[in-house]
Amino acid sequence: MKLSITMRALPALAACAIMGSAAAQSAAPEAVTGNAQAARDKISMCIGCHGIRGYKSSFPEVYHVPMIAGQNAKYIEAALKEYASESRTHPTMVGIAKSLSEQDIADLAAYYSSLK
């Protein structure tokens, strides 16, 4: 008798497994596409340091701030995500990166990579 109950349950279990797998795949995040135009409203926090040639930050120590115009978009995205996760540790950048959404990061990367 146990064998017949188990045999009857298999199709239902298989259906649940398939549905669960499909749900997990549909819940996967879609790739975020950067929009350089949308970033124009988001760059004010960047240009104060990254828009000045030779600028040096004095917090927490004297630090040469790199120009990011023309930098590769994937590099900018990776750097911002590393600051957000605190893999990179500059306090100002950590605070800024943590305030950004995935879309903000993609937009900023698209904007700065489009500059020459």
Please give the pLDDT value at position 61. 83
42 and 24 fall within a common domain: no
17 and 41 fall within a common domain: no
Domain count, the chain: 2
Query: Is the entire prediction scored with pTM above 0.85?
Result: no
44 and 99 fall within a common domain: yes
81 and 36 fall within a common domain: yes
Q: Cα 47 vs. chain centroid, distance in angstroms?
A: 20
Q: Which domain holds residue 48?
A: 31-114
CA 66/CA 4 separation, integer angstroms: 70
CA 102/CA 38 separation, integer angstroms: 13
pLDDT means over runs of 10, the chain (116 residues): 49 50 54 94 92 86 91 97 96 96 98 94
94 and 54 fall within a common domain: yes
Report the CATH number that the domain containing residue 41 is assigned in CATH.
1.10.760.10
43 and 22 fall within a common domain: no
Please give the pLDDT value at position 30. 77
Residue pair 72/113 in contact (Cβ under 8 Å)? The answer is yes
